[in-house]
Structure 1
């Protein structure tokens, strides 16, 4: 049977996740309706059940900043940018719309963020979530926040590894393996991930601020579960601060890498300069004795040729010894 909806029903002190076929009605006790790649008939079924309007994929993508969060007909519409494909080298952001009503929470998404799977594993346990729509969205936000923190932790570990490669590596090995180029490319990827996490957390923080100011909970939580929007806001802000710290660390690494590249380039230029200076005096000697003047006494000497060669060798060795004495080599 084709599965079109994921729903959560209350059963005892926990939520139970079920799926619906195309012809099955939505149960009255569903407090979370998850629409993953919904079609028009599926949207119509949820709209009829809750009396709300479900945005399409195009509408979600083309939202103006003022339309990301709004209320309509007693329902709160909120669109977040959630980290998706976090197991890849370059995770991306997916738009997810949350529609919060007193009867149920509806999520509309066209991707598979890992935070949703994390939340589904939690709600299957007793006391894993408050048994009301507001508790579901808070649990989802907690899962999104935890996933973002996990992504940042992974990036931080990889940044530390690259940092050791930059500052503890052998310069000769670095040049041979072109590790500097690889490090610069990785820094760009890490910065992209961090910026995505920060952008995601900014959208989550806006939703939390809106909820804390406009949505009043009407039911008591069970099992001592007393969610606080402002506590979640502090968690999000902590992740944003961590992302800023990692971004600054990446900037330092980039500057250090470019500085080391400049040092290696200066070594090569210095070597060419020394070689040019070493061969300059012998070239001068050879140029003098290559002149076509009739009165050059040295040209008629029996030892004139060995003498000129000796002068050229000495003229080359003396600058080299001088550079070694000055520790320029």
Structure 2
């Protein structure tokens, strides 16, 4: 699909009108943003002919080499980043590659998923892009707005994950009397920590890719003497992004601490089980020894002729079993 965005002035503010076009339609010259979502080859060729660019393939967008993600070709600047998004209706969000192509005053975005950040930006831009005339809208301003929307969405995700981790922290250290419920809770906690850690790791990877784009834009704008307000916006967005990276690192460290604490509690539970078996072995060892002595098949065993020999042996076994148990309780080992 090809969505085009054209600037329009209304109520003293610049709006961004969005509409879809078909292959047989002509792309208007005043289009400043072309958004390609899961484009077919015919749609890619149509945009390439209109904008004078080369649309990268989905495989090329998956490269991790910086030279394949940030480069300039035929006067167009190509920037590929990764944004957290629902991928193929998966239960957990994944990272979707998005390519921003900036040429002159026109922006082209290529994506195969629909991140929440893009929907947030298009809704906001449809209401207002700021005061001024239609000339205030530009591909560079839209690019800055999209990156800002991605960072805002990342902040929301990290805040939500932080709240969930705080709730998990309280559950980990609360006292539960029922051993079976405690074991089940620890297993659920381990799974939840794994999911949160994976999501935060993906979000941090997304922030790193956006940071590369912002650093590249900052260097370009400084070299090309871009407008001061645009350079300030990029620097401000970069500072916000770096602070979010620090917060993501903090959350990752907290998850690692909670993971270590949970595994420590699991080990304690296992030690309690092993301790119980050890105590039972020690408790039954003396009675077993006594029973073994009187079970030996010797002809001359003095106690066998006693009328109270059998009760005496039973009493000896009970005392031999009770004494270790009482000793362990006295030492507070149980």
**Length-normalised TM-score, structure 2:** 0.90
Contact 2:5–2:32 (CA<8 Å) still a contact in 1? yes
User: 1:194 corresponds to which residue?
Assistant: 200
Q: Which runs of 5+ in 1 are unaligned?
A: none
Contact 2:80–2:99 (CA<8 Å) still a contact in 1? yes
Deviation at 1:181, TM superposition (A): 2.0
Q: Does 1:243 align with 2:248?
A: yes
Q: Does 1:16 align with 2:13?
A: no
What whole-Å deviation, never above 9, does each CA across 1:41-99 have from its counterpart, x for those lacking one? Answer: 22222222222222122332346431210111221100011111299652100111000
User: 1:99 corresponds to which residue?
Assistant: 101
- For residues 220 and 208 of structure 1, do their structure 2 counterparts lie closer, same or farther at Cα, with a shift above 3 Å needed? closer
User: Secondary structure at 1:228's aligned position in 2?
Assistant: helix
The number of equivalent residue pairs is 323
User: 1:270 corresponds to which residue?
Assistant: 275
User: 2:215 corresponds to which residue?
Assistant: 209
Contact 2:7–2:15 (CA<8 Å) still a contact in 1? yes
**2-structure distance, mates of 1:295, 1:249:** 71
The match for 2:117 among 105, 115, 129 is 115
The match for 1:309 among 301, 310, 314 is 314
Deviation at 1:219, TM superposition (A): 6.4
**2-structure distance, mates of 1:71, 1:6:** 24
Contact 2:176–2:182 (CA<8 Å) still a contact in 1? no
19-28 or 242-251, which moves further after superposition?
A: 19-28
Q: Does 1:289 align with 2:294?
A: yes
User: 1:253 corresponds to which residue?
Assistant: 258
Deviation at 1:173, TM superposition (A): 4.7
The match for 1:152 among 158, 166, 170 is 158
User: Secondary structure at 1:52's aligned position in 2?
Assistant: coil
What whole-Å deviation, never above 9, does each CA across 1:196-246 have from its counterpart, x for those lacking one? Answer: 11111111000000001113475687xxx9852111111111111111111
Contact 1:92–1:196 (CA<8 Å) still a contact in 2? yes
What whole-Å deviation, never above 9, does each CA across 1:223-274 have from its counterpart, x for those lacking one? Answer: xx98521111111111111111111111111111111011011111111111
- Aligned-residue RMSD, C-alpha: 2.2
User: Secondary structure at 1:324's aligned position in 2?
Assistant: helix
- For residues 252 and 89 of structure 1, do their structure 2 counterparts lie closer, same or farther at Cα, with a shift above 3 Å needed? farther
User: 2:138 corresponds to which residue?
Assistant: 132
Contact 1:90–1:192 (CA<8 Å) still a contact in 2? no
Contact 2:105–2:140 (CA<8 Å) still a contact in 1? no
Deviation at 1:176, TM superposition (A): 5.9
User: 1:6 corresponds to which residue?
Assistant: 3
Deviation at 1:38, TM superposition (A): 1.3
Contact 2:63–2:69 (CA<8 Å) still a contact in 1? no
User: Secondary structure at 1:122's aligned position in 2?
Assistant: helix
27-36 or 129-138, which moves further after superposition?
A: 129-138
- For residues 31 and 23 of structure 1, do their structure 2 counterparts lie closer, same or farther at Cα, with a shift above 3 Å needed? same
- For residues 183 and 63 of structure 1, do their structure 2 counterparts lie closer, same or farther at Cα, with a shift above 3 Å needed? closer
**Length-normalised TM-score, structure 1:** 0.91
**2-structure distance, mates of 1:174, 1:209:** 52
**1-structure distance, mates of 2:290, 2:319:** 11
**2-structure distance, mates of 1:62, 1:54:** 15
**1-structure distance, mates of 2:18, 2:228:** 22
**2-structure distance, mates of 1:180, 1:73:** 57
**2-structure distance, mates of 1:212, 1:241:** 21
